[in-house]
Structure 1
Amino acid sequence: MIEDYIEKRENPGWQEEIVLTEKAIKAVNQMVPKPRFFIVCGDLINAFPGTTLRKPQEIDFKKVFSDLDPEIPLICVCGNHDIGDTPTPDSIITYKNTFGDDYFSFWCGGMMCIVLNSQYFQDPSLVLDNAKEQEIWLEEQLSLAKSGAFQHVVVFQHIPWFLFKPDEKKEYFNIDKDLRIKMLKKFQEAGIKIIFCGHYHRNAGGFYENIEVVTTSAIGAQLGTDKSGMRIVRVLPETIKHDYYALEDLPTEINLTNL
């Protein structure tokens, strides 16, 4: 995306993204204690489905991330570049065959994590059955979240519900306002306190009632003033704290106290 969208080169490559990702992985591998997982909130690669650069970018993504410490699971969230702005049944199947499920839940310690395919909220016009399946599944997950069996329940998705304010106008980087409020109310009723997103290539965030929506910039191309980096999330007994770091500023030792 750097050479394609930012520098607008005629034959864009992705060597800079490889170098940046290698730096990120090296830093993560050195962290003490080890992160419980490394999650990429969508747009794993830049090339859209069906384009000539798609396969080589998939190969390089897997090659680069093969250097991640095997004790640190890599979790992939589905983004619009991964399945298309208007996903099709074929693009969904191809994604699942390459990267895994496009929505799922997992558990880490006392935390329940719900991973969503946000394209089903953005434009499900060609995959209505898939979107309905996620909707039914999500209702089940939210019912489980309400049980109180988990210390925290966290949601991960690509497109943010909103960037800064829950009543902001619809634009490319957020989700339709009516659907946004409907879903945020459901999340609030289920006791979810934080939703992590990507897509914006800048850092952003805000609150709906007591739910924090956190948008993290990219390891790769930046569309604002942030530097390439990652967010470190510290899950504490009573709260979840998070900080964004430029790659060159990533700490080695992570403080897991309440300070």
Structure 2
Amino acid sequence: MSTVRRLQFFVNLSTKWTLGNRIPPTGPGTRQLRMAGNSSTDQLRIHARNRQYEGFDREHEGTWRGPFTFIASADPQYGLTAGWNNPGLLDWTQEVELTQRGIERINKMKPRPRFLVVLGDMLDAMPGRPGRDDQKVSFTEVFSKVDPEIPLVFLPGNHDLSDSPSMEDIKLYRDTFGDDFYSFWVGGVRFIVLNSQFYADSSKCQEARDEQDTWLNEQLEDVQATGCKHLVVFQHIPWFLKNPEEENEYFNLDVNLRLPMLEKLRKAGVRIIFCGHYHRNAGGFYKDMEEVVTSAWGLQLGEDKSGLRVVKVTEDSISHQYFSVDDIPLES
């Protein structure tokens, strides 16, 4: 499939769901989620509230305690694979299987990762679209199987909110997955979670965008005043894919915002930014600040295999390696 066609698929995905003669939500993925018998998100351990993450606060985690590992994943995007090949088909059996296999291996890792972050696009159907609620139920059922000692960290992708989110879309996200931007501490390392959709299109939610902007400034000022071992940012859409000065496209953020924001984050001491969205591995450096684009846990658009990134944090460095789902190392 050509790059143009791929791009058009993503840009017009919400329109495709509304076309006639589509298959109703009775595919294997839907049958599986209905068997789960759970129509709520109660099983998801949601700890991101009030711009913090319960248990991952400065008081309990603000001091360096030695090296640790966490898992960075992106775009499980329940329903995309079937819809990519047959737009309108509501089936997410493949995503369920891939995430189940990955979770089984994550749960066996020794030592346990300190947390598992999903860098957005948990679901494929945007708010109000067919399959959204069923995908949410299935996602909840699968991710509730993550070891309780491995906290789940969520942040919004464009499919979780919509390409041009409204305040209602943001509220729905927060009710399901917790806050859309917040910060937390693990072992002396400070993590900042951003809602990157505000940088793509905030025309219907300027109030929320302004709130994040003010909050981010406060966070960066606090870092300057109090310090931390490392400063890490999580967001869905990459600022850039390979080169900070590359042209604008669907998978990156506008260069006129990109460059000043990259400089702002770097000056504040951000060491590394983890992103998803691209469904391929990519990334690079802005001066001495690294950006890592992690390929999808679900559908691939390049040569990578569905997988996850194992991130190792030491006192002096942050290193990372991408593994296919079945090759996730059990000992880190």
Pairwise TM-score range, normalised by the shorter structure: over 0.9
Distance 1:210 1:235 in 2: 17
- Report the equivalent of 1:69: 147
1:121 correspondence with 2:199: yes
Residue 77 of structure 1: how far off its partner (Å): 1.0
Residue 155 of structure 1: how far off its partner (Å): 0.1
Residue 145 of structure 1: how far off its partner (Å): 2.0
- Report the equivalent of 1:2: 81
Q: What are the superposed Cα offsets for residues 169-218 of structure 1, whole Å, 9 maximum, x if unpaired?
A: 00000000010011011111111110000000000000000110100001
- Report the equivalent of 1:249: 327
Residue 11 of structure 1: how far off its partner (Å): 2.3
Q: What are the superposed Cα offsets for residues 204-255 of structure 1, whole Å, 9 maximum, x if unpaired?
A: 000000110100001100011100000000001101000000112111100x
Distance 2:203 2:95 in 1: 32
Q: What are the superposed Cα offsets for residues 12-42 of structure 1, whole Å, 9 maximum, x if unpaired?
A: 3001100000011001000000000000000
Residue 144 of structure 1: how far off its partner (Å): 1.6
- Report the equivalent of 1:60: 138
Distance 2:291 2:298 in 1: 21
- Report the equivalent of 2:310: 232
- Tell me the secondary structure at the aligned position of residue 188 of structure 1: helix
- Tell me the secondary structure at the aligned position of residue 155 of structure 1: strand
Residue 96 of structure 1: how far off its partner (Å): 0.4
Cα distance, 1:18–1:111 mapped onto 2, change above 3 Å:
same
Code of the aligned partner of 2:148: P
- Tell me the secondary structure at the aligned position of residue 146 of structure 1: helix
Paired residues in the alignment total: 253
RCO higher in structure (CA 8 A, sep ≥6): 2
1:159 correspondence with 2:237: yes
For 1:212, which of 290, 293, 298 is the aligned residue? 290
Aligned residues: percent identity?
Answer: 49
- Tell me the secondary structure at the aligned position of residue 114 of structure 1: strand
Distance 2:247 2:175 in 1: 36
Residue 148 of structure 1: how far off its partner (Å): 5.1
Distance 1:248 1:28 in 2: 10
- Report the equivalent of 1:179: 257
4+ runs of 1 displaced by more than 2 Å? 9-12
- Tell me the secondary structure at the aligned position of residue 279 of structure 2: coil
Residue 10 of structure 1: how far off its partner (Å): 4.8
1:194 correspondence with 2:268: no
- Report the equivalent of 1:257: none
Distance 1:108 1:14 in 2: 33
For normalisation by structure 1, the TM-score amounts to: 0.96
For normalisation by structure 2, the TM-score amounts to: 0.75
Gaps of 5+ in 2: 1-79
Residue 9 of structure 1: how far off its partner (Å): 5.4
- Report the equivalent of 1:13: 91
The range that moved more, 238-247 or 144-153, is: 144-153
Distance 2:188 2:141 in 1: 32
